[in-house]
Amino acid sequence: MAPQIAGAANAPIYESLAPAKLFELGLGNLVFSRSLPDGRIALGVFLLDIFCLGVKNAFLAIVARDEYARRLRSWSTVESLQPMPPACFRKLVEGGVAYAHELGFDPHADYDEARQIFGDVRPLTARPISSTGVTASPSIFPVPMRPTLRCGASWTSSSGAWAQETLTSSCWQSNPANRSTG
């Protein structure tokens, strides 16, 4: 599958989706997918704990379009997935890994393989520019500050703040690069 993965990393982005309540719950599956020339979908899925553990699970798969749709439907019964611009998506996942690393946690063993799906997508490096050309306001998502048992010893009032500093509300707005999953 290695050659297929390499090819998938440069295929057109199909969707990048994140749970609507990720910042409220602190945990959720993020899905990044690309459309392959043969009609199949390559997807990287990241179970992200923004409060402590970073990427708790990850996998990369190449599936038929109908299988992809079936998987999205099954995930959607648990969490409402919303489009997120690819640069914001990558920044969120990599920020979670970096934050967890600071607390002494490594990402899931399959993270290195799964992150190949990002290919040439550059992570968000600055506040997004609005359609008017003006830097977007720093409207930040609220991130509940609550400890978890596994991270209680490392918990501070700033836990999860990395996510606040990483993303502005413009990261959740619809993006033409994301097709509607309605």
Mean pLDDT by runs of 10 across the 182 residues of the chain is: 71 94 89 96 95 93 96 87 92 90 92 93 59 36 38 44 52 44 36
Give the whole-angstrom CA distance, residue 146 versus residue 161: 12
Would you list the domain boundaries of the chain?
A: 2-172
| Confidence (pLDDT) at 128 | 38
Residue with tokens 């910042």: 23
Beta partners for residue 62, in sequence order: 42
- The answer to whether the Cα torsion of 100, 105, 150, 17 is positive or negative is positive
Beta partners for residue 58, in sequence order: 46
Length in residues, the chain? 182
| Confidence (pLDDT) at 124 | 74
| Confidence (pLDDT) at 25 | 87
Element (DSSP H or E) covering residue 35: strand 27-35
Predicted TM-score (pTM) of this structure = 0.74
Give the whole-angstrom CA distance, residue 15 versus residue 175: 10
